[in-house]
Amino acid sequence: MQPRDSKRARLLPSATLDTLDDDLLVRCASYLDADGMAQLGRTSARFGISQHGQQRSLANEAAHRRFRQSATDEEGGCLPKYGDESDIGLCRALELLRKPLRFDQLVGIGLGLQENPASLTYVGGSFSTAMSGHVMRGGIHFVEFAIALDEENWPGVNLGVIRPVSLTDGIDLEADWEGQVHPVFLSSSDQSPALSEKLRTQRTAKWGDSNVHCCIYFCPDGECIWADWENYKGYSRWQGHQGLGESGTVGLLLDLNKGTLSVFKNGRRLGKMKDGLGGEYVWFVTARSPRSACTISMSRGSAPN
C-alpha cells in the first residue's frame, strides 16, 4: 500500500460515519451503557456536540431514548431529573438503581466488609458507621436489614437514612469524631460543634428544604432519633414502635413522595416512624457495643403487604 493509500484508509471510517443518518447512529449508540455513551461523546464531535439546532447531542439523545424506553414508572418516579443533569447522567443513575446495594463508606473501629459488599461484620468497640453509596432522590425505596447475633449480648444497632455526606473528608477519626462515629447524635452545641459544621457545610440544593439530615430506628427499643446537625433531638416514641432484641430483620420504607420513613419488623409493618423527610438520602448503619458481635446485611426489595 502506498503512503497516500494508507492515509485514505485511515480517513475512510470517519468519512463513512459522516454519511450515516443521525437516527441510525443514535440507535447504535443506545446499545452502550452510560459510561460508553459518555466516552463516545468525549471522543467524537459528531456524538458529543449538538448540531443543526438539535436540543441534545447524539450521545445524550441515545441516553434519553434508552431511559424513556426502558425505565418503568416506578423507576422513573425514583429518578426525577435535575435541571443541570445530562441525559447520560440520568441513564447512569438508572443503572445504579438496578444494581444491588452495597456498603461503600465504613468509618470507625470494629467494622469490616464480608465477601459480599452488602454484608458487614461488627466485632465490638466504639460507635462505628457504614453508609451505602446509592443516593435516593425521589419516589419510594425499600431496604431490608438482616441482623445476625454472634453472642447473646445485643449490640446497639441503629438503621436509617442520612444525607450523602462524607464522614472523613477533612474530618479526623480521633480529633473530630473522638473515636465515636455517631452522626445522629451531633449538634452545634455539643462537645464537637466544629464537626457538626463540617457536615452541614456539605449541604447542596439537592437536599431540599427538609432539616431531617439523619434519622434512625434504634433497634434495642424501637425509638426514633433524628438530627438536623444544629440541635440534638433525642429519642422519641412513635405509634407502633417495637424494638428488635434478637436476630431478625428490619425493613425501612422511605417514601419521598410523602416524606415519610416507615418500619417493618420481621416482615410485619409497625408503622410510620418519621415524616418531614425530603431531598437526597442514603441508607446507613451504626453499631456500638464493648463486647458483642453481629453481622448486618442489606438488600433492596419491595415492602411486604
Q: What is the CATH number of the domain that holds 186?
A: 2.60.120.920
Q: 131 with 245, same domain? A: yes
Residue 285 has pLDDT above 90, yes or no: yes
Per residue in 47-95, pLDDT (tens digit) is 868 766 677 888 888 899 899 999 999 999 999 999 999 999 999 999 9
Q: 86 with 167, same domain? A: no
Q: Parallel, antiparallel, or unpaired: how do β-strands 111-113 and 119-122 relate?
A: antiparallel
Q: 32 with 178, same domain? A: no
Which pLDDT value is given to residue 9? 42
Per residue in 234-275, pLDDT (tens digit) is 788 999 999 998 889 999 999 999 999 999 999 999 999 999
Q: 115 with 60, same domain? A: no
Q: Answer whether residue 135 is part of any domain.
A: yes
CA-to-CA dists, residue 206 to 25, 163, 245, 291, angstroms: 34, 10, 36, 39
Q: Answer whether residue 138 is part of any domain.
A: yes
Q: What is the pTM (predicted TM-score) of this model?
A: 0.87
> Where does a domain end: 81, 97, 113?
97
Strands (E), the chain: 103-107, 111-113, 119-122, 125-132, 140-149, 156-162, 214-218, 223-227, 232-236, 248-255, 260-265, 268-275, 282-289, 294-300
Which pLDDT value is given to residue 27? 78
Q: Answer whether residue 59 is part of any domain.
A: yes
**Average pLDDT in the chain:** 87
Q: Answer whether residue 146 is part of any domain.
A: yes
Q: Averaged over 31-46, what is the pLDDT?
A: 86
Residue 14 has pLDDT above 60, yes or no: no
When comparing pLDDT for 192 and 34, which is higher? 34
Q: 250 with 117, same domain? A: yes
Q: 120 with 73, same domain? A: no
Q: 37 with 153, same domain? A: no
Question: Which are the contacts of 263, defined by CB distance < 8 A and separation ≥ 6?
Answer: 217, 222, 240, 241, 250, 251, 252, 253, 269, 270, 271, 273
> Where does a domain end: 97, 131, 151?
97
Count structural domains, the chain: 2
Residue 180 has pLDDT above 80, yes or no: yes
Among all chains, which residue has been given the C-alpha cell 418503568? 72
Q: 42 with 188, same domain? A: no
Q: Answer whether residue 220 is part of any domain.
A: yes
Q: 119 with 178, same domain? A: yes
Which pLDDT value is given to residue 8? 43
> Where does a domain end: 97, 127, 155?
97
Q: Answer whether residue 157 is part of any domain.
A: yes
Q: Answer whether residue 305 is part of any domain.
A: no
Q: 85 with 123, same domain? A: no
Q: 129 with 197, same domain? A: yes
Backbone angles phi, psi at 298, to 5 degrees: -130, 150
Q: Domain residues for 194?
A: 103-300
Residues of the chain with pLDDT > 90: what percent?
A: 58
Q: 191 with 254, same domain? A: yes
Q: Answer whether residue 142 is part of any domain.
A: yes
